[in-house]
Structure 1
């Protein structure tokens, strides 16, 4: 017999036994391929108590209480002993010399390992493999019916209830894992059975709704919500809780991933540090962290980032849900990254394709916490300036590990958030020498004394040690002792200048020493880059700073990269460690930053002129810079704007806050069309800086222009109140300054708000007013825009002849100006008109041509309107399946670009197509969602259209009372808006009666 405590699978393997104790079903012992009976129910109860306390002593009184309840018989102890005896015999039969029921002081203990008992294996899988579908599937396979089947009593019933809850949690976890793997359909049966068994369990209901939606059964998901809502109201008098309500809202918004798509698993850690050495104690401290917040604090250049990244790579398997990394730029010469921008960056990585990006900081923080809740992720927040910068980026649950690096002590995070602080100081002497050995090679061992002094002269900081090693590597013929002599001399000079004993002076000496291998041109380039206001740079930006040609600038960057003074950060772009950047700024005079801004403004203007030539007259004039500009075709122009977007945000912030407000204003004005409709985060930042800068300048025209841009962003996001406020504020400022073009833009945008609401006649009045102003000014492009909008809404309200004339004139003006963007919108208007006149071939062609033009220009949000128009054309020609395909594509694009009005249009189109195909429930679900979206955004026409669709669905279900009510609501709104659809709805209602 094996001693107690050493028995287990390994001990049995030699005898060919595999003993399995099972309670997830009938209580039994399984050994050697056969089942050994335990006996009558009371004995099974005794055995079950011992199994569920495997390896622990259970007191006699506890056994009696659990088996016989509160009123045991007088002979309970004798009966217990008899049952124990028979259990021992059964176990001996199952496992000769194996499992033992031991008698301890005051109780009994079953000497088995927990992993031999199915319930412990099940619970371990549930707790340790929350996102592993295969492991959870195996755990669920351990269940063989009702747990503790046949065992009676209160304790058994309580235990069964707990085990059932665990089983339900495992089913939900398994289903979530399968849904995330794109296998939602395979979970619906099991989730449906679970929800039927436990109709009040909201977690199961939420999982089933997610599965149904992911399997393209959104209508069924909404119907299931309605069922459980009614059950909760009838049984408990309560409404669904926050989780279920949130899933319902997400289904309505189409804010859950479709089948085959899952939330991306980010892997953002930078590359591991080459030749990482030392930090044994710090890494061990990090290894002990399982959840929560860690602050790596210490002096600049100590290797905080390297330590965090190296540890992250070492333990990345602990974080199956991904790793997030972000440089918060807390110590760069420019402004630290705002928390709201940091949240946007994280959400870009976390949200499924097509999910909406919240625009307000509070909304972003809440969505971030939602996305990481319950996930096991590593989040590295690098170079944080303050605790306040970090707080909005902290998860709301403790399943993630957050590592923050900072020169600050971050006392607030330690005191208020329980952060564990790990100090990253200078390397121990042995580790510093070890790092030099890895970087330099055998020369270190040949001159141990010189190496030791070199390490001390480098202050034992990894950054300076690497620079010294790079210099040693570039001079393979020199002895290390000679290099040390040179460094000693450099430090002596700096000690005299600084008063001596200053670690910063020592670090500066290493930096200065590392520059000696470089040419004068490269040293000058290094010094100039210390003043560059953006985080990244390329050869063109350096050429603008230095006044050299681009080839020389690229050669300088190559030399600096070889010396580890700059590092690659994307295609042809570079970055610089903030400590090196600060030193670089010290050693040279500040250049005229106007040269850098001149370069960026001119390059942006060139890119915009390439993409949007017809609107060049609306953008501010930009002087030709002395520096060379990159050559652009259409694709290169868009790629450059995309790649430089983070730099432009940094430049705008720097200009607004460092005495160059006019540059912030110009950046905003130049980029308006590029940012319009598809870069909300960047647009709000850049236009916001422009508004601040304009107020600093007292420039009302510039402030009004920024307000127009901000209002356009609000309009895109469906915030009509703020949008209208911004437009009218801009109009007042333009009128005050006598800027007629600005007034026309503001009035035209108010017209777009009215059009969005479906108030077409009021919109037409504003468009006509703006058109008159633009005609006075002779602004061809502006007139073409207004004619396009006028013609489109006239087509929608049945005024075909004037609509066609306005659109024909608009197309001619757009083509004369070479304005492809406007031409595409005119094609959409003409396509609308062709659809209404049942000229299907023309409608298809026009909408397709518009979609192609928008795609070439990179305006996917506008492309969505053309695709949605294709859907209406197909529906009009009796092809609802094709219509549904186009509406679905449009809906996905509208969601990506946060176009709420577009969502309501596409959803109603989907509903109409589904109804035409006979899918009434799905049609109802789409119209219900359209109604919710359109109500929030104030899009009245689509509210009426949704009611119209819901009336048709109710009529198909012979729910005539509901149908009449919805028809009445639709007719009332259609009539108020003056739309001909009112007559169609009235005719259908009459037929219904």
Structure 2
């Protein structure tokens, strides 16, 4: 039996919660638990639970609560903890280790420097201690426990810093100092952590911030500890020897085994780096023919000088010469930023914004950026840093004259290897046979055009046939090249290279050659064993064996755990091999579609009937046993999915978009735009109106999340019309519901309710329970905002029943938000807090951070109404961070206004005004009209000039009245009362 106080008051038996009852009974139990083993007098119990004005029959109520607590304890664990009656009071008989507060305190007391024990202590916390309990005693106890929690985080952070893992403390310390801006020990710990990871300037900035706060709020200067840390940062006198460096990208591929030659190229690269002026980035372009080893040279040099770039090394294959399209600059920037931005940070939407953010992120960082296989100057121009601290190496088959002329790049030609270097490479790969047959070695090198790629293939063949003289192997190659020369009527270098490829395949079995040829037709640049099994029709184990053979022959190369790629020359050659297997691509697309469908069923089972049905493949599929493994697989295969959307038949692009809609909703904006955009074009190409409309709905949802309301509405209405032409009323219902969401986002709740009602009627007529549940959820929520309380409760009750019947946890969480708003409107603030907290926790488990932000913001509003502005400010700030990271421009304005209101209630009018001003800007820019009014109302409350006050109030009243919201009358009353007081 365990008792939990570091969160909602709970009793747990074998991991299962046992109901305690109403908050007053929870408070009685909490008092007894915190005094476990000691007698608590009846008067003291009454004072702590009921406060200074208890009801007349309070002793009878206390006795009733004690009786029910005893019964709950006895039923949960007979012979376990119990409540004893002592003279003058009650005593809880329980072991200290059964109460989380005592376990927490013991871990801190006995292990004040042990990271693992301190981490275990912090893991005992489940949110706000004594959550839901009200009264002076509960608040005092909470305050004490929060102080202990702060001390625990500081102790844990100090231990992590000492152990060299300062970077792991930054998030938690930043959150703590944001929530407690005047906590000097936390501020000092954050400064130590920032300094330890090389961010001394940020540490000084944080000191200035807390210095201002202390002087403005308390009229005091920092205490000795914080002042000492500040001085130590200024003197560079904090210990950093054991501190781990800040996490940095280290994306260089593995260095090439037996790298040979290129001493002249490496020397030039070294010289360019040493001669850097310090005013602009070092920019070098390695150009040369395919297979000359440009990438290998750049990667090898990168490993040699990586210590010169302690802030990271970025690598990106721009696919400039792959069989498909080169990587767009916007996608390239997204890939680079993904390695630089903190996890969960919202990706800037457009190419210009991404380029600006990339330049900002690498400013002042000493980084190496390797851009491989660039096609054109236009492709790489947005990827160039603007800081002299970076070195950029570009590889390309093109001369990229514009990069030299316009950007001052140094061009270095990577030609064929010299005769000596070619022979040396063969010696390293083959061994002493090279020295015994020097003439055959020299001819072999020439037959391979002295290109590293072909030399390695030839060497692998020689190693696989150790008893065959090199001269005989050269004769075979000579014959193969003569045949190809006759067939191609040419003797150019490309023909010679193709001959080496053809010759190297002879050592392989027919089955392996067939697999190689099929991989040339695989639409994605990277593949795994399952994909090859689908292409070939083999079992998984057979596919693994074939891949092992191809890797040994250097025809494919590993890129990660069961991930493989092919040199673009080899891929192009493989695609040339005749293969009369048109079903191979059908099999591989069938595999991907089926596995995506299975992953989506794991993640969103309640919406399975809304996704297209997909046939089960005959090939092996990865085991996706739970939601986590399903999401991991989708995340890993997302680049492949994008390639599949562009390279397959139009119906494949359409199906991919429909399957992935919910997964991409609110996530992976770049991929979502690509997948849905290709689906729109594909559906138009095949004249599938309903499929085009589905893709338009998905694209419109992306526009809506990004605050592009006009584009979103245009897509939804276009989809509505197409669904009508296709005779698809279910699609029309979806489009109408989404138009309602656009109106809701703008604050036009009555119009939104009308659209939701129309959509609901369509879903009801069609018997679509999932659609009905969604519309009832949104309808009930907007009704809560226009004071239609009875209708709102009824619609949300119906929605909850439908969601629960379908097992749709995502929908259940949204219903809780609506019910939480209704509860807050009626004064049920404890219920409102509970509902919003439950919704936030559920969204968090589902991985929907944007939706989680709405729940947390609602929790902040309820806490503010409940007289807890500090807690409200913390949750509004948390919601704001989530909105900014995961989209939801309208949500930003909600959170900023909530933060402004909480700051004013805490006594910080200037900060409140700044938040409302920012909310006004965001809400105006994205058309969130209710939040425009709310911002004006907030600005009126903090303004000092009477004319400014009146102007903001009148603007708020006018906007609320335009929207038909009850807040208009409340705001008029505020203005009238203010006028009377003046």
> Residues 354 and 644 from structure 1, CA distance in 2 versus in 1: closer, same or farther, beyond 3 angstroms?
closer
**Quick check: 2:317–2:373 contact (8 Å CA) kept in 1?**
yes
**Quick check: 2:198–2:246 contact (8 Å CA) kept in 1?**
no
What is the aligned partner in structure 2 of residue 978 from structure 1? 964
Secondary structure, in 3 states, of the residue corresponding to 2:491? coil
> Residues 613 and 217 from structure 1, CA distance in 2 versus in 1: closer, same or farther, beyond 3 angstroms?
farther
- Looking at structure 1, the residues matched to 337 and 601 of structure 2 have their Cα atoms a distance apart, in angstroms, of 32
**Quick check: 2:820–2:831 contact (8 Å CA) kept in 1?**
yes
How do residues 420-569 of structure 1 correspond to structure 2 at under 5 angstroms? 420-499=410-489, 501-569=491-559
**Quick check: 2:696–2:715 contact (8 Å CA) kept in 1?**
yes
Match of 1:889 among 870, 878, 888: 878
How do residues 931-946 of structure 1 correspond to structure 2 at under 5 angstroms? 931-946=920-935
- Looking at structure 1, the residues matched to 740 and 825 of structure 2 have their Cα atoms a distance apart, in angstroms, of 23
> 1:507-553: CA deviations, max 9, x gaps?
22322333333333222211110110011111111111111112211
| Corresponding residue pairs, total | 752
**Quick check: 2:345–2:886 contact (8 Å CA) kept in 1?**
no
Match of 1:913 among 902, 920, 940: 902
- Looking at structure 1, the residues matched to 331 and 468 of structure 2 have their Cα atoms a distance apart, in angstroms, of 49
- Is 1:281 matched up with 2:273? no
Secondary structure, in 3 states, of the residue corresponding to 1:358? coil
- Looking at structure 2, the residues matched to 285 and 261 of structure 1 have their Cα atoms a distance apart, in angstroms, of 33
How do residues 104-503 of structure 1 correspond to structure 2 at under 5 angstroms? 181-184=198-201, 186-188=203-205, 265-289=248-272, 290=276, 291-352=281-342, 355-372=345-362, 376-396=366-386, 400-499=390-489, 501-503=491-493
Q: Cα offset for 1:636?
A: 1.5
- The structure with the larger Rg is 1
> Residues 582 and 540 from structure 1, CA distance in 2 versus in 1: closer, same or farther, beyond 3 angstroms?
same
Q: Cα offset for 1:739?
A: 1.9
Q: Cα offset for 1:347?
A: 2.4
- Which is bigger in relative contact order (C-alpha 8 A, separation at least 6)? 1
**Quick check: 1:187–1:211 contact (8 Å CA) kept in 2?**
yes
What is the aligned partner in structure 2 of residue 684 from structure 1? 673
**Quick check: 1:185–1:215 contact (8 Å CA) kept in 2?**
no
- Looking at structure 1, the residues matched to 244 and 704 of structure 2 have their Cα atoms a distance apart, in angstroms, of 29
What is the aligned partner in structure 2 of residue 987 from structure 1? 973
- Looking at structure 2, the residues matched to 722 and 330 of structure 1 have their Cα atoms a distance apart, in angstroms, of 32
Q: Cα offset for 1:871?
A: 1.9
What is the TM-score of this pair, normalised by structure 2?
0.72
> 1:544-581: CA deviations, max 9, x gaps?
11111122112211222232221222322211111111
Secondary structure, in 3 states, of the residue corresponding to 1:301? coil
Q: Cα offset for 1:469?
A: 2.7
Q: Cα offset for 1:355?
A: 4.7
- Looking at structure 1, the residues matched to 215 and 198 of structure 2 have their Cα atoms a distance apart, in angstroms, of 22
How do residues 754-903 of structure 1 correspond to structure 2 at under 5 angstroms? 754-903=743-892
What is the aligned partner in structure 2 of residue 598 from structure 1? 590
What is the TM-score of this pair, normalised by structure 1?
0.71
> 1:646-699: CA deviations, max 9, x gaps?
1111111113xxxx2121111111111111111211111111111111221122
Secondary structure, in 3 states, of the residue corresponding to 1:315? helix
**Quick check: 1:264–1:352 contact (8 Å CA) kept in 2?**
no
What is the aligned partner in structure 2 of residue 608 from structure 1? 600
- Looking at structure 1, the residues matched to 387 and 459 of structure 2 have their Cα atoms a distance apart, in angstroms, of 44
Give the unaligned 5+ runs of structure 1. 1-173, 189-209, 221-259
- Looking at structure 2, the residues matched to 689 and 286 of structure 1 have their Cα atoms a distance apart, in angstroms, of 41
Q: Cα offset for 1:373?
A: 5.1
> Residues 823 and 214 from structure 1, CA distance in 2 versus in 1: closer, same or farther, beyond 3 angstroms?
farther
Q: Cα offset for 1:847?
A: 2.3
**Quick check: 2:514–2:579 contact (8 Å CA) kept in 1?**
no
What is the aligned partner in structure 2 of residue 623 from structure 1? 615
Q: Cα offset for 1:415?
A: 4.1
- Looking at structure 1, the residues matched to 428 and 302 of structure 2 have their Cα atoms a distance apart, in angstroms, of 21
What is the aligned partner in structure 2 of residue 636 from structure 1? 629
Q: Cα offset for 1:915?
A: 2.1
- Looking at structure 1, the residues matched to 962 and 912 of structure 2 have their Cα atoms a distance apart, in angstroms, of 25
**Quick check: 1:797–1:980 contact (8 Å CA) kept in 2?**
yes
Secondary structure, in 3 states, of the residue corresponding to 2:375? coil
> 1:920-942: CA deviations, max 9, x gaps?
22222222221211111111111
Match of 2:566 among 576, 579, 585: 576
What is the aligned partner in structure 1 of residue 642 from structure 2? 649
> 1:231-251: CA deviations, max 9, x gaps?
xxxxxxxxxxxxxxxxxxxxx
- Looking at structure 2, the residues matched to 768 and 936 of structure 1 have their Cα atoms a distance apart, in angstroms, of 29
Q: Cα offset for 1:211?
A: 8.6
> Residues 530 and 401 from structure 1, CA distance in 2 versus in 1: closer, same or farther, beyond 3 angstroms?
same
> Residues 219 and 360 from structure 1, CA distance in 2 versus in 1: closer, same or farther, beyond 3 angstroms?
farther
- Looking at structure 1, the residues matched to 712 and 589 of structure 2 have their Cα atoms a distance apart, in angstroms, of 30
Secondary structure, in 3 states, of the residue corresponding to 1:300? coil
- Looking at structure 2, the residues matched to 448 and 907 of structure 1 have their Cα atoms a distance apart, in angstroms, of 76
- Looking at structure 1, the residues matched to 607 and 212 of structure 2 have their Cα atoms a distance apart, in angstroms, of 42
**Quick check: 1:868–1:886 contact (8 Å CA) kept in 2?**
yes
Q: Cα offset for 1:859?
A: 1.6
> 1:418-437: CA deviations, max 9, x gaps?
43322111100111122223
Q: Cα offset for 1:721?
A: 1.3
**Quick check: 1:219–1:921 contact (8 Å CA) kept in 2?**
no
Q: Cα offset for 1:640?
A: 1.2
Secondary structure, in 3 states, of the residue corresponding to 2:412? strand
> Residues 274 and 215 from structure 1, CA distance in 2 versus in 1: closer, same or farther, beyond 3 angstroms?
farther
Secondary structure, in 3 states, of the residue corresponding to 2:506? helix
> Residues 183 and 404 from structure 1, CA distance in 2 versus in 1: closer, same or farther, beyond 3 angstroms?
closer
Give the RMSD, CA atoms, in angstroms.
2.9
Q: Cα offset for 1:213?
A: 7.5
Secondary structure, in 3 states, of the residue corresponding to 1:379? strand
- Looking at structure 2, the residues matched to 855 and 440 of structure 1 have their Cα atoms a distance apart, in angstroms, of 56
What is the aligned partner in structure 2 of residue 729 from structure 1? 718
> Residues 818 and 391 from structure 1, CA distance in 2 versus in 1: closer, same or farther, beyond 3 angstroms?
same
What is the aligned partner in structure 1 of residue 148 from structure 2? none
**Quick check: 1:278–1:431 contact (8 Å CA) kept in 2?**
yes
> Residues 978 and 742 from structure 1, CA distance in 2 versus in 1: closer, same or farther, beyond 3 angstroms?
same
- Looking at structure 2, the residues matched to 184 and 415 of structure 1 have their Cα atoms a distance apart, in angstroms, of 37
> Residues 484 and 653 from structure 1, CA distance in 2 versus in 1: closer, same or farther, beyond 3 angstroms?
same
- Looking at structure 2, the residues matched to 724 and 398 of structure 1 have their Cα atoms a distance apart, in angstroms, of 44
**Quick check: 1:219–1:926 contact (8 Å CA) kept in 2?**
no
> Residues 775 and 897 from structure 1, CA distance in 2 versus in 1: closer, same or farther, beyond 3 angstroms?
same
- Looking at structure 2, the residues matched to 780 and 261 of structure 1 have their Cα atoms a distance apart, in angstroms, of 54
**Quick check: 1:560–1:566 contact (8 Å CA) kept in 2?**
yes
> 1:785-838: CA deviations, max 9, x gaps?
000001111112222221111011011111222222222211221222223233
> Residues 453 and 218 from structure 1, CA distance in 2 versus in 1: closer, same or farther, beyond 3 angstroms?
farther
Secondary structure, in 3 states, of the residue corresponding to 2:526? coil
Q: Cα offset for 1:844?
A: 3.2
Secondary structure, in 3 states, of the residue corresponding to 1:405? strand
**Quick check: 1:451–1:480 contact (8 Å CA) kept in 2?**
yes
Q: Cα offset for 1:766?
A: 0.8
**Quick check: 1:386–1:408 contact (8 Å CA) kept in 2?**
yes
